[in-house]
């Protein structure tokens, strides 16, 4: 089963379930940021930001290093790969669903155009 | 920003952060199951299973229909596609990291074999 290959999924998905934490990760895609830099756009206390960063750290999504009195955070994307690997096993199911939806839409289009969807019959009138 | 296109991510990632719920989704890939069928492998009460299924339902990952006195659950994979779309924006970061790791491993292999990693120098001995 897929689960055996992905022991970190609980923590990774939990970390990603919060919009502030997702936004922090997004910010780290442009480079290393200090904890206070990460806190600024959310108008939250340093303690509040630090709590979110700790969740990201324990999920292995952020690495923190200390430079003097500054804590610098860096994105660690490898665990996101595990999450995507897990999700990819479901791809065929949403693809099938999208194919169904496409078929329904085509049928509706054909119906609006006054043509039966299947089988395609000749519909010439008045000639 | 990616977030604007994916309003359901909080609920989807929260639903996926639990191994029981992930296992339930996995089970639903082979077809519709009743709530009691889904509860059985986890040795949990019907109430406990139902709680997990409600989390999956409110994340839009499971659809429930009632047939007589049986509640039947079906996988709804479309929201997983949203989660994968979000994760795919980070793909270049873990690819870069994997490239770095590969380079380190190659360097280590070369070092074990007694060859300098870069530049590749001729290392013939004793001829």
pLDDT in tens, B49-75: 999 999 999 999 999 999 999 999 999
The residue ranking higher by pLDDT, B21 or B95, is: B21
Q: How far apart are CA A36 and CA A72, in angstroms?
A: 9
Q: Kindly report the CA angle at A93 between A11 and B65, in degrees rounded to 5?
A: 90
Whether A77 and B90 lie within 8 Å, measured CB to CB:
yes
Is pLDDT at A62 greater than 70 in this prediction? Answer: yes
Is pLDDT at A127 greater than 50 in this prediction? Answer: no
User: What's A103's DSSP letter?
Assistant: H
Helix (H, G, I), strand (E, B) or coil at A119: coil
- pLDDT tens-digit profile of B9-51? 999 999 999 999 999 999 999 999 999 999 998 888 889 999 9
Q: How far apart are CA B70 and CA A111, in angstroms?
A: 36
Annotate chain B with three-state secondary structure: CHHHHCCCHHHHHHHHCCHHHHHHHHHHCCCCEEHHHHHHHHCCCHHHHHHHHHHHHHCCCEEEEEECCEEEEEECCHHHHHHHHHHHCCHHHHHHHHHHHHHHHHHHHHHHCCCCCCCCCCCCCCC
Kindly indicate the confidence band of residue B6, based on its pLDDT and cuts at 50, 70 and 90: low
Kindly indicate the confidence band of residue B116, based on its pLDDT and cuts at 50, 70 and 90: low
**Residue B73 near residue B63 (C-beta atoms within 8 A):** yes
Q: How far apart are CA A45 and CA B62, in angstroms?
A: 37
Residue with tokens 């299924």: B53
Kindly indicate the confidence band of residue A122, based on its pLDDT and cuts at 50, 70 and 90: very low
Q: Is the peptide bond before A108 cis (omega within 30 degrees of 0)?
A: no
- Please indicate, yes or no, whether the overall pTM of this predicted structure exceeds 0.90: no
As a whole-number percent, the residues of chain A with pLDDT over 70 amount to 80
Residue with tokens 């793909």: B91
Best residue in B30, B61, B62, B90 to probe A by mutation, most A CBs within 10 Å? Answer: B90
Q: Starting at the edge strand that comes first in sequence, how are the strands of the sheet with B70-75 ordered?
A: B33-34, B70-75, B62-67
Q: How far apart are CA B35 and CA B58, in angstroms?
A: 16
Reference A75, options B96, B84, B9; nearest CA is B96
Kindly indicate the confidence band of residue A124, based on its pLDDT and cuts at 50, 70 and 90: very low
Q: What is the pLDDT of residue B48?
A: 92
Helix (H) or strand (E) holding A72: strand A70-75
Reference B83, options B98, B64, B62, B61; nearest CA is B61
Whether A97 and B78 lie within 8 Å, measured CB to CB:
yes
Whether B29 and A78 lie within 8 Å, measured CB to CB:
no
- pLDDT tens-digit profile of A4-51? 456 699 999 999 999 999 999 999 999 999 999 999 988 888 899 999
Kindly give, in sequence order, each residue whose CB lies less than 8 Å from that of residue B118, ignoring residues fewer than 6 positions away. B107
Q: What is the pLDDT of residue B112?
A: 77
Whether A90 and B98 lie within 8 Å, measured CB to CB:
no
Is pLDDT at B121 greater than 50 in this prediction? Answer: no
The residue ranking higher by pLDDT, A54 or B113, is: A54
Is pLDDT at A63 greater than 70 in this prediction? Answer: yes
* Chain A residues closer than 8 Å to B98 by CB: 78, 81
What mean pLDDT is predicted for residues A69-93?
Answer: 92
Helix (H) or strand (E) holding A96: helix A91-112
Kindly indicate the confidence band of residue A115, based on its pLDDT and cuts at 50, 70 and 90: low
Mean pLDDT over the full length of chain A: 83
């Amino acid at each position: 089963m897929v689960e055996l290959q992905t022991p970190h999924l609980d923590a990774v998905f939990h970390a990603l379930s919060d919009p502030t934490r997702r936004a922090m990760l997004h910010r780290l895609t442009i480079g290393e940021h200090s904890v206070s830099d990460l806190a600024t756009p959310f108008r939250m206390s340093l303690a509040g930001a630090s709590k979110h960063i700790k969740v990201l750290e324990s999920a292995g999504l952020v690495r923190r290093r200390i430079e003097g009195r500054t804590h610098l955070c860096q994105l660690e994307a490898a665990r996101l790969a595990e999450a995507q690997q897990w999700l990819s096993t479901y791809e065929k199911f949403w693809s099938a669903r999208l194919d169904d939806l496409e078929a329904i839409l085509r049928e509706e289009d054909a119906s609006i155009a006054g043509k039966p969807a299947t089988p395609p019959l000749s519909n010439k009138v008045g000639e």
